[in-house]
Structure 1
Amino acid sequence: MADVAVLDDPTVPLVVHLIYKLDFGGLENMLVQRINRMPATAYRHAVVALTDITDFANKISKPGVGLYALHKQPGSSPGTHLALWQLLRQLRPAVLHTYNLSAIEYAPAALLAGVPVRINGAHGRELSDPDGLNPRHKLLRRLMLPFYDCCYGNSADLVAWNRSVIGVPEHKSCLLGNGIDTDRFQPGPRAALLAASGFASDSMVIGTVGRVQAVKDHAGLVDAFIALRASMPAQAARLRLAVIGDGPHLAQLRAKVSAAGLDGQVWLPGARSDVAALLGGVDVFAMSSLAEGTPGSALEAMACSLPVVGTRVGGLPEVIDDGVSGLLVPPADPAAMAAALAHYVASAELARQHGAAGRQRVMRLYNLNAMVAAYQGLYDKLCERKTAFRKQEKSCVES
């Protein structure tokens, strides 16, 4: 277990964020944004990774944020529950905030450690269970419900699923959407992407950003790119694909690209810290996901005035106004993805119109400050409720 000392001010309540791994990804990026933006006088923060912490932690700019890795082994790993209980006893947080299914089972340890407020966030579903119907997973979620004060979703789709499938009562359920820094993510020059990728200045670049894992179906996006080139021979020579992000399937994806003879046409740089600048060189953004929450990468692309072609899964239909700011296609359908992308390749004016509409949509509905305020408001409400309950309980005992 490695740590950086938490800012030592016991008058400011501490929030412990429990995630599977602190690494490049949309959930992790939004978590870091909230930590960096939330007023230091409101809450202190610590991040506990069940497995490991990577260099992605360097994106946390707020001083005094504690970082802890429990190095959980595959399987049930009961020792991890004990290690977390010991750590929580040491840190004495006001809130344990767990993320997704991988961390949901640790609420009992927090209760035993005396953590007053416990929250779980649904930020997406697993590739093995895109509809959230796995009986064992549903049972685990239901068994954990009594240990949580709130189980929110970051899309309306996830909130509805939490209530109807898992049985989360309405008073424990709410929507906390993602938010984007529209000052950082805005239309920009193409130079950064062209210089990094080596693409020619007249290239038509289809881009995507995200962790390269099975649920994102980047292999399907490569198939769509191949189909697009075949369907538009006059444009094929200038078509390019940029897949920005690291992950367990990156080597496999690179092998697929090489086998298709596309090494010069597809750029796979791995994780990058300059995503906002690179998006300036993208013409159309694509999301081929098989399951999603509210995808921050799509919102970032829209903030940069890019039209988005996305699959009709999870929160993507909430984010993309079909036919206005982008186009929606069925998941796992490279031909449909290619056909949608072709609309923007054929019409730069359509791409411009949809991109402009997307930026306006993000500025209106997905504001970063509003997101931070919503999370802080939830912490405030639950902490105040628990404090009032304890005062009432103490008064009853004394009387």
Structure 2
Amino acid sequence: MTRIKRILFVIHTPTFGGPHNQVLRLHRALLERGWEQVVLTTDEEGNGAERLRAAGVKVLQIPLHRMRAALDPRIQIAFFKGLRPEIASIRRVIRELNIDLVQVAGVQNFHGAFAAKQEKIPLVWQLLSTYAPSLVRRILSPMVARLADVIMVTGRGTLLGHPGLQDLKDRVVIFFPPVDTREFYPDLHHRLVARAEMGVPGDVLLIGTVGNFNRQKRHDILVKAAYLLIRQFPNLYVRILGSPTVSHSKYYERNVKALAEKLGLLKDERLKFISPGSRVAHLLPAFDVFVLTSMAEGVPTVVLEAMACGLPVVATNVGSVADVVRDGKTGFLVPPFRPNAVAEAVGRLLTSPELRLGMGKEARKLAEQLYDTERCADVHAQAYEMALKNFSKG
């Protein structure tokens, strides 16, 4: 009988996001393919570890710092001060759990990479977005090229955003986040129940987004676009679904929620902020249009989930978003930081039920064909086998 191989996935962020969702969606499928994922994550406050444990994933937590775009020197000092002992802790876990391969996510999260190399085991380095500043990506991409046995990248836009890696064709694997199209699908009953749960009448227009409450998602752009749209569509409601990010809480209160209140959007709950927990699949079908206003991304999982629910998508053209949102066919791409452009694109869809329906059907078809969990699990298993092979070559 073939031994199950163990992956140690080192995740630096405490709030449930893209890396956590990968594990959640792929855990069982990868076990069937001979790979077990063990997650090592930070002991900071957040819902990521809790949700993974609830799904039966083995999760370990240790002090684990990450680079942040912060001016406070204490944050940077804590990062560098913790680097050596945190790498040592990861090395101990590798030995104690007989880890076969280490997986890390993010160009700036290199603790696990150093631990893997020091323990002489293969390394898969995932690059999930272009959120890290361009200077950081330019400086650290050569290190990724030097250390990684396989580099997994969400889409070509993310690959091009990390200079020099596009030439490493024998080690680069392009992938898309997994979506369970049996869980995310259009459903009229779910639509009505979810609307009632979110305080939205069944016969009005509803747009919204799903994303953690942080600076990267730029929900302030959506708030400004909503203000413009409600003046044009008096029966429009807006819902912003997400989980608080502790390190961004002051920013979000000051720049997003306070703005919504100033513009009068919180009156009569025309715009509302909701924490969906694990109920995103239940709530997404309530929307008429899904909107993404991020300043940087790779391929956001929630865009694929919205497509699986048969929703047209209006999204900022950043990272690899253009790899999945087909402009004019499954939605519209708009420049980042442009609330007027967002409002114009969403307005085109709100004006035409036929256009919304046609784009939504095409989006659902693509989600089933290209982004289903089983397909993503196959790509991951192939990448892990490639890493073992590349590592053995030295």
Shorter-chain TM-score category?
A: 0.7 to 0.9
Whole-Å Cα distance in 2 between the matches of residues 212 and 157 of structure 1?
Answer: 24
Partner of 1:65: 58
Q: Is the 8 A contact 1:204 1:345 kept in 2?
A: yes
Whole-Å Cα distance in 2 between the matches of residues 270 and 294 of structure 1?
Answer: 22
Letter in 2 for 1:160: L
- Aligned pair in 2 of structure 1 residues 64, 156: CA closer, same or farther (>3 Å)? closer
* CA deviation vs aligned residue, 1:95-139 (integer Å, no higher than 9, x gap): 10000123235422222123x21011010022x62xxx30x4422
Whole-Å Cα distance in 1 between the matches of residues 261 and 199 of structure 2?
Answer: 17
- Aligned pair in 2 of structure 1 residues 222, 63: CA closer, same or farther (>3 Å)? closer
Say which SS state the counterpart of residue 170 (structure 2) adopts: helix
- Aligned pair in 2 of structure 1 residues 51, 101: CA closer, same or farther (>3 Å)? farther
- Aligned pair in 2 of structure 1 residues 98, 318: CA closer, same or farther (>3 Å)? same
Once the 2 structures are TM-superposed, how far is the Cα of residue 212 of structure 1 from its aligned partner?
1.6
Tell me whether 375-384 or 65-74 shows the greater mean CA deviation. 65-74
Partner of 2:160: 160
- Aligned pair in 2 of structure 1 residues 142, 193: CA closer, same or farther (>3 Å)? same
Whole-Å Cα distance in 2 between the matches of residues 55 and 349 of structure 1?
Answer: 39
Partner of 1:125: 130
Say which SS state the counterpart of residue 109 (structure 1) adopts: helix
Whole-Å Cα distance in 2 between the matches of residues 225 and 169 of structure 1?
Answer: 43
Whole-Å Cα distance in 2 between the matches of residues 192 and 57 of structure 1?
Answer: 29
1:165-204 equivalences in 2 (<5 Å): 165-166=164-165, 169-188=168-187, 189=189, 190-204=191-205
Partner of 1:376: 381
Q: Structure 1 vs Structure 2: percent identity of aligned residues? A: 23
Letter in 2 for 1:97: Q
- What's the RMSD between the two structures over aligned residues? 2.3
Letter in 2 for 1:125: T
Tell me whether 263-272 or 58-67 shows the greater mean CA deviation. 58-67
Q: Is 1:215 the counterpart of 2:216 in the alignment?
A: yes
- Aligned pair in 2 of structure 1 residues 382, 283: CA closer, same or farther (>3 Å)? same
Say which SS state the counterpart of residue 174 (structure 2) adopts: coil
Whole-Å Cα distance in 2 between the matches of residues 108 and 368 of structure 1?
Answer: 30
1:265-276 equivalences in 2 (<5 Å): 265-276=270-281
- Aligned pair in 2 of structure 1 residues 144, 378: CA closer, same or farther (>3 Å)? closer
- Aligned pair in 2 of structure 1 residues 98, 71: CA closer, same or farther (>3 Å)? closer
* CA deviation vs aligned residue, 1:233-269 (integer Å, no higher than 9, x gap): xx22x11111100133443422222222211111201
Q: Is 1:91 the counterpart of 2:79 in the alignment?
A: no
Q: Is 1:102 the counterpart of 2:95 in the alignment?
A: no
**Higher CA-based Rg:** 1
- Aligned pair in 2 of structure 1 residues 314, 69: CA closer, same or farther (>3 Å)? same
Say which SS state the counterpart of residue 170 (structure 1) adopts: coil
Partner of 2:30: 38
- Aligned pair in 2 of structure 1 residues 41, 329: CA closer, same or farther (>3 Å)? closer
* CA deviation vs aligned residue, 1:199-228 (integer Å, no higher than 9, x gap): 222221101111121111100110011111
Tell me whether 94-103 or 172-181 shows the greater mean CA deviation. 172-181
Once the 2 structures are TM-superposed, how far is the Cα of residue 89 of structure 1 from its aligned partner?
2.5
Say which SS state the counterpart of residue 368 (structure 2) adopts: helix
Say which SS state the counterpart of residue 311 (structure 2) adopts: coil
Once the 2 structures are TM-superposed, how far is the Cα of residue 279 of structure 1 from its aligned partner?
1.0
Once the 2 structures are TM-superposed, how far is the Cα of residue 53 of structure 1 from its aligned partner?
6.7
Give the gaps of 5 or more residues in structure 1: 1-8, 391-399
1:5-20 equivalences in 2 (<5 Å): 11-20=3-12
Once the 2 structures are TM-superposed, how far is the Cα of residue 50 of structure 1 from its aligned partner?
3.8
- Aligned pair in 2 of structure 1 residues 62, 244: CA closer, same or farther (>3 Å)? closer
Once the 2 structures are TM-superposed, how far is the Cα of residue 40 of structure 1 from its aligned partner?
4.8
Whole-Å Cα distance in 2 between the matches of residues 259 and 58 of structure 1?
Answer: 35
- TM-score under structure 1 length normalisation: 0.86
How many residue pairs match? The answer is 370
Partner of 2:262: 259
Partner of 2:70: none
Say which SS state the counterpart of residue 29 (structure 1) adopts: helix
Partner of 1:148: 148
Letter in 1 for 2:291: A
Say which SS state the counterpart of residue 174 (structure 1) adopts: strand
Once the 2 structures are TM-superposed, how far is the Cα of residue 36 of structure 1 from its aligned partner?
3.3
Partner of 1:75: 79
Whole-Å Cα distance in 1 between the matches of residues 144 and 305 of structure 2?
Answer: 33
Partner of 1:139: 139
Letter in 1 for 2:26: R
Whole-Å Cα distance in 1 between the matches of residues 308 and 33 of structure 2?
Answer: 30
- Aligned pair in 2 of structure 1 residues 89, 37: CA closer, same or farther (>3 Å)? same
Letter in 2 for 1:158: T
Partner of 1:4: none
Once the 2 structures are TM-superposed, how far is the Cα of residue 328 of structure 1 from its aligned partner?
0.9
- TM-score under structure 2 length normalisation: 0.87
Once the 2 structures are TM-superposed, how far is the Cα of residue 167 of structure 1 from its aligned partner?
6.6
Whole-Å Cα distance in 2 between the matches of residues 55 and 213 of structure 1?
Answer: 15
Q: Is 1:303 the counterpart of 2:308 in the alignment?
A: yes
Letter in 2 for 1:16: L
Partner of 2:71: none
Tell me whether 84-93 or 316-325 shows the greater mean CA deviation. 84-93
